[in-house]
Structure 1
Amino acid sequence: MEVEKYLSRIGFAGSAVQPSLELLRSVHTCHLLAVPFEDLTIHSGGEVRLDLQLIYDKIVNKRRGGFCYENNGLFFWLLTHLGFHVTMMSGQVRNAITQMYGPPFDHLILQVTVEGRRWLCDVGFGSSGFIAPLSLDTDGLQEDGHRVYRIRRNLEMHVLESQKEENRGEDGEWTEIYKFTLTPRRLEDFIEMCQYHQNSPSSIFVCKSFCTILKPFGRLTYIGRRLITTMFPSEATDGKLEVTTLELKDEEIPEVLAEKFGIVLSSPLIPKDDPITPPDVQY
């Protein structure tokens, strides 16, 4: 496992001699622009194992992506080797169907302390994720591209919320994304939930084959038999968020994955876009 090869994989061309907030922001954004958030291993006959060497080989050597345990697990390794003080943390994602939270270890996120401040990092969440690290030392509004975020604290629990640009302001409508504590965790702590997300009908990763990646203009997302292009608000879109969907035939999907996401699978993909079964237990 080589730091320089990882940095090359994510297209980072700056100086990584000393930990700094500028470096943290740069590698965080570079990772999101280069490494997809995807679950295609599950739908092509494979299994995700929380072994850093295997994850490195998949993401760096094979130029694949992964879900949170893979992307953030490997990002933890990179930041540690760049000299940052990094802590793994457990997140619980809010279910869009039930509006309830998942169990502990549902999501892996990172806390990074640099230049005397604490930052939330997450390169493994997809379309609702933030582009640059968010400060853990404020509950105020934090602008990030076309979204606004805040981290609200309730006793020991922290809640990440987002707000669309048209609703911007303290009194605007906020959407809860996930909650977490600052308790340090290890990669091994997430093994049970990693298995759950590969086998449960209540997991989006089981029910839907997908791949999504951040682009300078917006986001590209493959799901089931669809390719979705999201354009961020700009002059070209008259200041509006623009979403277009292209229906795909099964035989077109491998070419789309290769051309749009740089992914070539070693085994055939079985496209899937099934409804998600709400979990029996709520948190």
Structure 2
Amino acid sequence: MTSVDMHVDAYLSRIGFSGSPSRSLHVLRSVHTCHLLSVPFENLTVHSGGRVQLDPPHLYEKLVLQRSGGFCYENNSLFAWLLTQMGFQVTLLSAQVKNKTTGFYGPPFDHLVVMVTLDGQHWLCDVGFGGPGFRTPLSLDTRGPQEQGHRVYRITEQRNESSGMLFLEWQQEENRGEDGDWTEIYKLTLDPRRMEDYAEMCQFHQSSPCSLFFCKSLCTILTPEGRLTYIGRRLTTTTFPKEGSVLETSTRDLQDDEIPGVLKDKFGIVLKSPLIPKDEPMTPLPVIY
């Protein structure tokens, strides 16, 4: 385990937050967006000969000092540490992501998300998801549509005798009102979790052909105009629609020797070991969740 010192000011500087770190909803929203604009969602460690480690000092060294990124267990757990240090009341939650191809959910602890309780209200934070992710925290107390730019999200509830299950939904890159077509992103409960609860699934995502992160080398980051996404040997630029315009995407193929430069110039990531580009189909899970 590394003995690196962890400093809130350095973390805030890393994500470009320059305001007063007060415990307020405005600050929570701001640091959430700043993180998404600065720290990539990526799994490049898995495809460059390394293993993901979840102890906070290691994550701080990787994401803050080395200015790299990570997947949900890394981004969201370190973000939870930051919020705790800033005085927020933080709870780790377990989510299960819905596979767009199979229509089934991943196993429990498939995804780590963060709940912040502030002035009696509950907010869902997620800086470790990628394309469908929301820019600012969503209210967990609201069941109606929550608009964010051209997108709209909502959280619905399903209860049975034993527990409550919440579903995060969106209308993809459109906002067609409350009666539009909603697509599920992931489901979660509000049961508090600990970091050690995610250890088994963290290993699964680094080694299983049923995991997106094992099958594809990827890196994506939110930009002021849209999103940049690298997968395998492709780079996709997405420009979000503004008033009077439509969503635009462009993709270009990459040669292997181009990829390190693209990762450095577009995402700010310099790998310590050579990357092996990968883009293989996932094997369906043997168990349906």
Q: Same fold (TM over 0.5)?
A: yes
Matched residue, 1:272: 278
CA RMSD of aligned residues (A): 0.9
- Contact 2:116–2:123 (8 Å) recurs in 1: yes
1:87-110 Cα deviation digits (max 9, x unpaired): 000000001121011111000001
- Contact 2:115–2:125 (8 Å) recurs in 1: yes
What percentage of residue pairs aligned between the two structures are identical? 66
Give how far 1:6 is off: 0.3
Long gaps (5+) in structure 1: none
Alpha-carbon distance in 2 for matches of 1:204, 1:274 = 9
Matched residue, 1:187: 195
Matched residue, 2:8: 3
Query: Alignment partner of 2:206: what SS?
Result: helix
Match of 1:197 among 202, 205, 221: 205
Query: Alignment partner of 2:184: what SS?
Result: strand
Query: Alignment partner of 2:270: what SS?
Result: coil
1:65-114 Cα deviation digits (max 9, x unpaired): 00000000000000000000000000000011210111110000011011
User: Is residue 2:273 matched to residue 1:263?
Assistant: no
Spell out the pairing of 1:149-188 with structure 2 (5 A cutoff).
Answer: 149-155=153-159, 156-164=164-172, 166-188=174-196
Alpha-carbon distance in 1 for matches of 2:125, 2:260 = 31
Give how far 1:164 is off: 3.4
Match of 2:218 among 210, 213, 228: 210
| TM-score where L is the length of structure 1 | 0.97
Long gaps (5+) in structure 2: 1-5
Query: Alignment partner of 2:115: what SS?
Result: strand
Alpha-carbon distance in 1 for matches of 2:197, 2:144 = 31
- Contact 1:167–1:173 (8 Å) recurs in 2: no
Aligned pair count reads 280
Query: Alignment partner of 1:276: what SS?
Result: coil
Give how far 1:168 is off: 1.5
The code of the aligned residue for 1:111 comes to M
- Contact 1:225–1:247 (8 Å) recurs in 2: yes
- After TM superposition, the runs of 4+ consecutive aligned structure 1 residues lying more than 3 A away are 164-167
| TM-score where L is the length of structure 2 | 0.95
Matched residue, 1:226: 234
Match of 1:240 among 214, 239, 246: 246
The range that moved more, 168-177 or 242-251, is 168-177
Query: Alignment partner of 2:200: what SS?
Result: helix
Alpha-carbon distance in 1 for matches of 2:149, 2:87 = 28
Alpha-carbon distance in 2 for matches of 1:114, 1:158 = 19
Alpha-carbon distance in 2 for matches of 1:115, 1:10 = 25
Match of 2:135 among 113, 126, 131: 131
Give how far 1:165 is off: 5.2
Alpha-carbon distance in 2 for matches of 1:106, 1:53 = 23
